[in-house]
Chain A
């Protein structure tokens, strides 16, 4: 008897552990997961990570290019220590174009101080503090990604923007998930007329050109709405057209699950439809849902970015990656201040990370799918 127990213990690996083992083999997915955790953490603590607030202006640096971090290896006395610093700007006006141009001035050497105090802020509206990850001290300034036309620090704004853009991705997907599971589940579980109605709706929504419709809907958001209202409005609009793909998957899965014995027995015991769906059927495929949801986040991020870029999504003073790129609408701006495209780099990186992570998760929970459609 005890031998038998030992045997089963050796044999049994839970499905979750098995999935984890498979997931670990996807090195790119692991790296992407790590990157996403990192960038979400910085977004959550962006007040601390960045040296300046979103509206702090440096009038000495309008449209100034990114600074390079340099290292002083020996100090004046010749002692060895690694001290990072940046050079301040010298501004002069180009006689041909009448544009401000900046060059580094080795005279102005601003050392970088870590865990130093700078601007006051309230972290999450809870703690009053002035601690920053790094600053350039009282007299210096530091703009690692350069500044925009109002002299605002792009590095700080990118991380504040991450908070908005990345959270829209997650909130939007949660909403999509809810709509998709509810409608797809109902269609698959009840069948008949409901199924046909949902199917038709899915077909219609999938044949609509998404972006023009997003544009129409976000143009309909009242101008008077508060930033929070617009934020949720845009998220809702993005989810409204995102759920059909998910609902289709859920429906197919539900059709198969409906025939299973444990669902039948729950029904015979008198469980309500909602209870059967959410308590009994959903848990048996939530791992697939997680993978699918991960793969749906990029669409949300890209949607928000596109709408805000066009000026009909989020609006200043809200800072998001799309809002930041609004300034780079025409090529004169891009040619003179190409660093305004840096937020785009963050969009690309996070979307790539979500795609890779989603692929890894899907392969881990379902080793037989290769991402093909059939």
Chain B
């Protein structure tokens, strides 16, 4: 097992390097750069800019160096924890990303938990009671859930909240708690706001998870080892959990890794709609304003998050399935 973990950790390095290259290329794609947009802005305000200043600015952002050198200094800075300077907020990127990333992580993980808590029992029920009314009902909800874009769901929830409950849904804090230090009351306020993005972000994942679990379980339910165990006199509930479910959950564990990018994507767009202080809204602002260090850092951190998540789900799978461990 230890060997397996080390092998997987080493395997992450080239993956992350490739990802960083892709991201660096992507954030360099827009025509122009920070300096040109800064100059545009200054000139539109009537500020005269000298050629010397331009050269200084370009040097400040490393733009006078070749492309490859720019990449190396960006990645190098990343490794030592220096993510560059955000022109948009006039602050080091370091000071901007962590809190937002924390909220993104919180919402994504709580959405993942929601997905599990809802999808697993629902998937089991609809597989065990295949073709029952409950199965049809759950499958229908699942189909609609799969087809509803998360932003539409967020809009509907906002509409429903206002129209039926008279509350305005959005944000992660009530106004009075927005800019105060953490207290127990603030945590409570936070939690009372968290459940809506959690459900909205988690619902699409819940539908796909339930669909996978239902199909896997249906595959396993009539396998010979289940019949053997039943013939052994194992009680029905224990039989279901210990035998088919235990196997059906394995490929399902491996899909958690794939679910994470989906959840993080969903989180980004839902946060934009609901106005949550997470990475999504800041990323889109950074992208539109070509604040490439900020945008690049967000993209890179989100990718690291997903890669680590996939690693964790692979390790979980190795722990759950002896066949993989012994490979």
Q: Which residues of A line the B interface, CB within 8 A?
A: 200-201, 203-204, 206-213, 215-217, 219-220, 222, 298, 302, 305-306, 309-310, 312, 325, 328-329, 331, 334-335, 338, 341, 344, 347-349, 351-352, 355-356, 370-374
Contacts and interface: CB of A to CB of B under 8 A. Distances in A.
B163 A215 contact: no
Contacts of B264: 209, 211-212
Interface of B: 14-15, 18-19, 22-23, 26-27, 29-31, 143-144, 146-149, 151-152, 155-156, 158-159, 162-163, 168-170, 211-212, 215-216, 218-219, 248, 251, 254-255, 257-258, 260-262, 264-266, 268-269, 272-273, 279-280, 283-284, 287-288, 295, 298-299, 302-303, 305-307, 310
Given A298-B147, A347-B147, 11 more contacts: A209-B302, A219-B287, A219-B288, A220-B29, A305-B149, A309-B151, A310-B284, A334-B155, A341-B155, A352-B144, A372-B251
A355 B146 contact: yes
A374 B298 CA distance: 33
A213 B280 CA distance: 11
Contacts of A373: 212, 216, 251, 254-255
Contacts of A215: 268, 283-284, 287
A209 to B, nearest CB: 4
A352 B272 CA distance: 25
Contacts, number: 159
Contact of A371 (B148, B159, B215): B215
Contacts of A349: 147
Contact of B151 (A207, A212, A222, A306): A306
B147 A334 contact: no
A149 B288 CA distance: 26
A237 B162 CA distance: 36
B159 A370 contact: no
B155 A328 contact: yes
B71 to A, nearest CB: 16
Given A211-B268, A216-B299, A204 B18 contact: yes
B265 A212 contact: yes
A32 to B, nearest CB: 10
13 contacts: A200-B18, A201-B18, A209-B299, A210-B262, A211-B268, A212-B265, A212-B299, A222-B31, A305-B149, A309-B149, A310-B269, A348-B148, A374-B219
